[in-house]
């Protein structure tokens, strides 16, 4: 760090400390800001309140669990959405990753009790669930593959939501619907093993709509990824990794 950057950092700390001590009550004397030189975030902690300390260091820290397939597993890669959540809630919550590349809702049900045991001493404060992208792939002629028929998918997601609701009255749930795909790029990159798998936006939208409708019926919050992603003009370039995820 250069002398200029150190000076900016120290000046920033002093100014914020003076402001916070003068104007803010003790229980609110926590402030985070990025300094003017664009260096790493500077956090000023001025409160010795037992409540603040306990919340930051645990074991009372809330747990946010991300449960799903590849979009969840890769959520901490390349500055993904899981990494962003961890950054935002770095001092406030523990972000737990339970992502499984290639899984569908059928497979998720098989481990639901293990991932979310009802007798766990601490239940998650928030669970974000994503399954549907693999379920929505067309059936493979061999009978194998990740495809799950739409009615079964809806029932599986219903059972997942019901189980999560039973964990605690304080547990909040968010479902992510099936996002769109770049059909042209997927067809170009398909391997011989998966050459007969069908993945289209028509199928993705059906599973996305089914998820959104189910959440509406159950009173569960949902994010319509299929619609949200396509609001960007450059979504085909900006919203996918090299694996088209």
pTM: 0.71
Note the helical H segments in the chain.
Answer: 3-23, 50-57, 70-73, 81-88, 105-115, 150-165, 183-189, 201-218, 225-229, 235-238
Q: What is the pLDDT along the chain (245 residues), one digit of tens a residue?
A: 444 344 334 333 333 343 333 434 444 433 333 333 333 333 333 334 454 455 566 567 898 999 998 888 888 887 788 889 888 998 889 888 887 787 899 999 999 999 999 999 999 999 999 999 888 887 776 666 788 999 999 999 999 999 999 999 999 999 999 888 877 777 665 555 555 567 788 899 999 999 999 999 999 999 999 898 888 877 666 655 555 44
**Based on the domain organization, do 174 and 132 belong to the same domain?**
yes
Active site residue 77: no
**What range defines the domain where residue 230 resides?**
61-238
- On whether both 86 and 106 belong to a single domain, the answer is yes
Do 38 and 93 reside in the same domain of the chain? no
Return all residues near 55 (Cβ < 8 A) that are at least 6 apart: 61, 92
Whether residues 137 and 102 share a domain: the answer is yes
The end-to-end CA distance of the chain, in Å, is 37
Q: Which residue among the candidates 2, 32, 70, 105 is catalytic per the annotation?
A: 70
Q: Are residues 81 and 22 in the same domain?
A: no
Within a domain: residue 233?
yes
């Amino acid at each position: 760090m250069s002398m200029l950057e150190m000076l900016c950092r120290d000046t920033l700390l002093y100014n914020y400390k003076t402001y916070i001590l003068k104007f803010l009550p003790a229980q609110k004397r926590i402030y985070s800001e990025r300094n003017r030189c664009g260096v790493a975030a500077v956090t000023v902690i001025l409160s010795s309140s037992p409540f603040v300390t306990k919340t930051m260091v645990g074991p009372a820290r809330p747990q946010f669990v991300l449960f799903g397939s590849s979009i969840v597993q890769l959520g901490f890669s390349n500055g993904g959405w899981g990494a962003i959540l961890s950054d935002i809630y770095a001092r406030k919550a523990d972000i737990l990753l339970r992502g499984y590349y290639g899984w569908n809702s059928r497979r998720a049900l098989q481990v639901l009790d293990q991932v979310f045991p009802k007798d766990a001493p601490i239940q998650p404060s928030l669970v974000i669930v994503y399954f549907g992208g693999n379920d929505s792939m067309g059936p493979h002629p061999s009978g194998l593959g990740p495809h799950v028929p739409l009615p079964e998918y809806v029932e599986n997601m219903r059972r997942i939501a019901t189980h999560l609701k039973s964990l605690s009255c304080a547990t909040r749930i968010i479902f992510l619907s099936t996002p769109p795909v770049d059909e042209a790029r997927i067809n170009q990159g398909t391997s011989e093993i998966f050459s007969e798998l069908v993945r289209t936006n028509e199928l993705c939208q059906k599973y996305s709509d089914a998820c959104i409708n189910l959440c509406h019926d159950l009173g569960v919050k949902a994010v319509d990824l299929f619609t949200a992603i396509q609001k960007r003009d450059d979504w085909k370039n900006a919203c996918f990794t090299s694996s088209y995820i």
